[in-house]
Structure 1
Amino acid sequence: MVQHVPLDHAFAALADETRRGILERLGEGPATISRLAEPTGMTITGIRKHVDVLVEAGLVTTEKVGRSRLCRLGPERLDEAMAWMEAYRQLQERAVGGRPTYLTLRDAEEAGQTPSA
């Protein structure tokens, strides 16, 4: 079986709603651990544990600035995860023999089109 350790770390990091929220917040710009903790009601220690998972996955970087730890989006842009999902989508489309998949139907609906069955 092929091992995809970076892919495993990315999916594990994204599996948690709090971590996805942290990534969304960091998409707006860098933030300290305490700033990330404010809207969640979590302790700084709790948020730090989530940030550590994101750091391990390469999705976030941190640096010490004075007494604070500043977080930024990391170098990994989920390229490997996106490539895996695209390959899986193609496999799924071949497996259903050209029948529209949920994603095809959803995309057509969002575009205001009537999908052909």
Structure 2
Amino acid sequence: MEDLALEYVNNIKNTKEFQRLIELKNIINKKYSLLIISFKTAEAEYIEAKERPEIFNLDEKKDAFIEAKTKLYSKEEVKEYFLLEAKINEELENDMNTLKESISNKFKTYHSMKL
């Protein structure tokens, strides 16, 4: 059974989609490192402001977070990364549901919400 699981993982890792996902992750981390830092900082500040609104200006932190997220997520490589990630996740979900159904009909199948 372990050999089948390893074979499955290796098959996923060797797909063009997965290889491109890794390539995009490296590109994004190098090319947009400052935007990533800005995004993570703004996110942390926004979360802290939500937890302690009496100390922080929540609207200001929220606006900064939205702006940082928009700047990062509008980059073509980031968009492609999320599309590929969603595609791979959907394939994994389908495979998992097929496996569950082949074992027993008592397992719940997972269906992600598609917008």
TM-score norm. by structure 2 comes to 0.34
Q: Which has the larger radius of gyration?
A: 2
Q: Which has the higher helix share?
A: 2
TM-score norm. by structure 1 comes to 0.33
Q: Which has the higher strand share?
A: 1
